Amino acid sequence: MARTPRQLERLEAVRLAFAERITGRVRPPDARLVAAFARVPRERFVGPGPWLVRVGEGYIRTPDADPAHIYDDVLVALDPVRRLNNGQPSLHAAAMAALRLGSGDSVVHVGCGTGYYTAILAELVGAGGQVHGYEIDAGLASLAARHLADRSNVTIHDPAECDEPLPDADAIYVSAGAGGPLTAWIAALREQGRLMFPLTGEDGTGVMLLVERRAMADAFAARCLGSVQFIPLVGGRDNLASPHIATAAEEGRLRRVRSLFLGPHADPATCILKGEGWWLSSRSLK
């Protein structure tokens, strides 16, 4: 149903207030991030209303199909049976701010779902940048491709391409939980490239981990941004690390992470978490 000019003006005001609210804790304030969230219509990516909004361990239905109901810091169901949701906006806003995306950057978005946060990334890198979206669920990938077809700086890859090497990237943004940094992600990072992913255990809980490539081939700066819960990435389990991540997060040990090292041999004095071919350290890189 077409909206009247007054309805469109009201919705733009609602979207701007939403963008300012969910980015309110980003420091320093990021006007580009506010503008990106204000420009992208969330209702386009979550199906027709009324919508199911996550509350506690369940969902409640919005009273009607007014998009204003989903311009809040809430999870909106994409597939409630599988507990697939369009994630919490403030969490994604904080993570994207930490990636420090610039105009013209190339970004890989792993687990792009129906494309809402992919569109935000596309706004941040601008017309001169490029966003490559990957989604293993064929139904979600099809929706993302449809939703983003009018964005020349976005490519949604076929699910069959998820096992192929990733394009070189200034930043990689992962929207599904993994037990460690996948080799394909590390290989795709350019010099000074940033990787943001949910480091989660077998119950889906953990932390957002930011990894930054430095001059050394086997050492990366790393830090945790805060606690998260995500659905698992297909093929993302780490047999060594996954069983211990939830405990390491609960005990606060992951807050001391300052670096990521590749290789099988960890320094027992600084090692916080060891995985298959990598380990997290409390040692800061110079």
Per-residue pLDDT tens over the stretch 260-282: 999 999 999 999 999 999 999 99
Mean per-residue pLDDT, 56-67: 94
Strands 205-213 and 219-229: antiparallel
**Binning pLDDT at 50, 70 and 90, where does residue 6 land?**
confident
CATH of domain 81-281: 3.40.50.150
**Predicted pLDDT at 1:** 60
Angle between helices 89-99 and 31-39 (to 10 degrees): 130
Which amino acid is located at 137 in the chain? Answer: D
**Binning pLDDT at 50, 70 and 90, where does residue 34 land?**
very high
User: In this model, does residue 4 exceed pLDDT 80?
Assistant: yes
User: In this model, does residue 218 exceed pLDDT 70?
Assistant: yes
Please, are residues 188 and 168 in contact by the beta-carbon 8 Å criterion? yes
- 169-206 burial: b if 16+ Cβ within 10 Å, else e: bbbbbbbbbbbbbbeebbebbeeebbbbbbbbbeebbb
Mean per-residue pLDDT, 125-131: 98
User: In this model, does residue 13 exceed pLDDT 70?
Assistant: yes
Cα separation of 258 and 271, whole Å?
A: 10
Per-residue pLDDT tens over the stretch 150-201: 999 999 999 999 999 999 999 999 999 999 999 999 999 999 999 999 999 9
Both tokens assigned to 285? 């890189």
Q: Round the average pLDDT of the chain to a whole number and report it.
A: 96
Mean per-residue pLDDT, 223-249: 96
